[in-house]
Amino acid sequence: MSMYNHFRKEEYPFIERALELFGQVEDRQMMRLTDFLDPRQLFILQSLSSKAQGVIVSAFGGYEGAERVRAILHPAYIIPEEADFRLRLFEIKGNQNFVKLEHRDLMGALLHIGLKREKFGDILMGEEECQVVLADEVVNFVLAQVTHIHRVPVSLSELPFHECKPPVKTGSEKTVTVPSPRLDAIVGEACRLSRAKALLPIRAGKCKVNFKVVDDPSQTIKEGDMISLAGFGRFEVKELTGPTRSSRMRAVLFIYT
């Protein structure tokens, strides 16, 4: 069985590039640094590591538990240092008395200047401050281009990583009942869509389960799964029990805000 059978077709280019990097590390006994990866891409990279003899995957995103990270592929006898990941942390300051900046505002500002998503990591939103992790190679470009966000003049100042403020998970729990643990049933309840309306974005490839695009509405969902639907945010399945007396499943969801 080909290893490609375990992955989606749109993931093949990433897999091919990853295998190329593994080969370079194995043959030349050198370190190779990736761009920022999402959790799905990191999972693919780690699962491919067995294809290369003596090659290790180390990852860092600026703080423990970071969602987006840069990875270093390296020989087992080399231990990467934090500086090898080439990350920089910046605080974004602006007068928010009249306009409260949100995560999507910062994301939009960075993408609007032409920055690729793989060149910046997590955006950390606090009550008063905003922080972003950048790839070292794009820092000067970002400093020159990002002067306003959502009409708010802003300035960026660099911070050491020990001043990083990881986000506090915010949201609310929602308990629902569903006829089955199918993806379309749970998405419909979580996003307040009829099951028929939930089918359309799922089949259009706008739904991810554990950061992997899933277009099969009948996929079985399990406890711990992270689900996102474009335009509706993300939620986590905390509990899934049943069936109830009415032959339905009870699901406890954590809806992120």
Give the separation between CA 196 and CA 36, rounded to whole angstroms: 36
**154 and 176: one domain?**
no
Tens-digit pLDDT profile for residues 39-49: 889 989 998 98
Largest separation between any pair of C-alpha atoms in the chain: 62
**176 and 249: one domain?**
yes
Question: pTM of the predicted model, to two decimals?
Answer: 0.78
The answer to whether 206 and 197 have CB atoms below 8 angstroms apart is no
pLDDT at 148 over 60: yes
**149 and 180: one domain?**
no
The owner of tokens 């992955």 is 7
Give the separation between CA 95 and CA 66, rounded to whole angstroms: 27
- Report which of 177, 224, 186 is spatially closest to residue 207, judged by C-alpha positions: 186
**149 and 79: one domain?**
no
- CATH code of 51's domain: 3.30.1370.160
**113 and 99: one domain?**
yes
Average pLDDT over residues 119-146: 92
The answer to whether 233 and 220 have CB atoms below 8 angstroms apart is no
- CATH code of 119's domain: 3.30.70.330
The owner of tokens 């992790």 is 133
**106 and 67: one domain?**
no
Tens-digit pLDDT profile for residues 62-76: 999 899 999 999 999
**70 and 92: one domain?**
no
- CATH code of 205's domain: 3.10.290.10
**232 and 244: one domain?**
yes
Give the separation between CA 81 and CA 237, rounded to whole angstroms: 36
Tens-digit pLDDT profile for residues 82-119: 999 999 999 998 887 777 888 888 999 999 999 999 99
Out of 54, 85, 116, a domain closes at 85
Give the separation between CA 220 and CA 227, rounded to whole angstroms: 12
What is the count of structural domains for the chain? 3
User: Between 185 and 128, where is the model more confident?
Assistant: 185
What sign does the dihedral 231-236-241-245 (CA atoms) show?
negative
DSSP assignment letter at 220: B
**81 and 91: one domain?**
no
**Which residues form the domain of 43?**
3-85
Tens-digit pLDDT profile for residues 176-213: 999 999 999 999 999 999 988 999 999 999 999 988 88
The answer to whether 201 and 186 have CB atoms below 8 angstroms apart is no
pLDDT at 9 over 90: no
**179 and 251: one domain?**
yes
Question: Coil, strand or helix: which one is 96?
Answer: coil
Out of 137, 163, 189, a domain closes at 163
The pair of structure tokens assigned to 221 is 């969902």
Out of 163, 194, 219, a domain closes at 163
The answer to whether 126 and 146 have CB atoms below 8 angstroms apart is no
Give the separation between CA 179 and CA 194, rounded to whole angstroms: 13
**30 and 95: one domain?**
no
Tens-digit pLDDT profile for residues 236-250: 999 998 777 778 889
**159 and 176: one domain?**
no
pLDDT band at 29 (very low <50, low <70, confident <90, very high): very high
The pair of structure tokens assigned to 75 is 């020989």
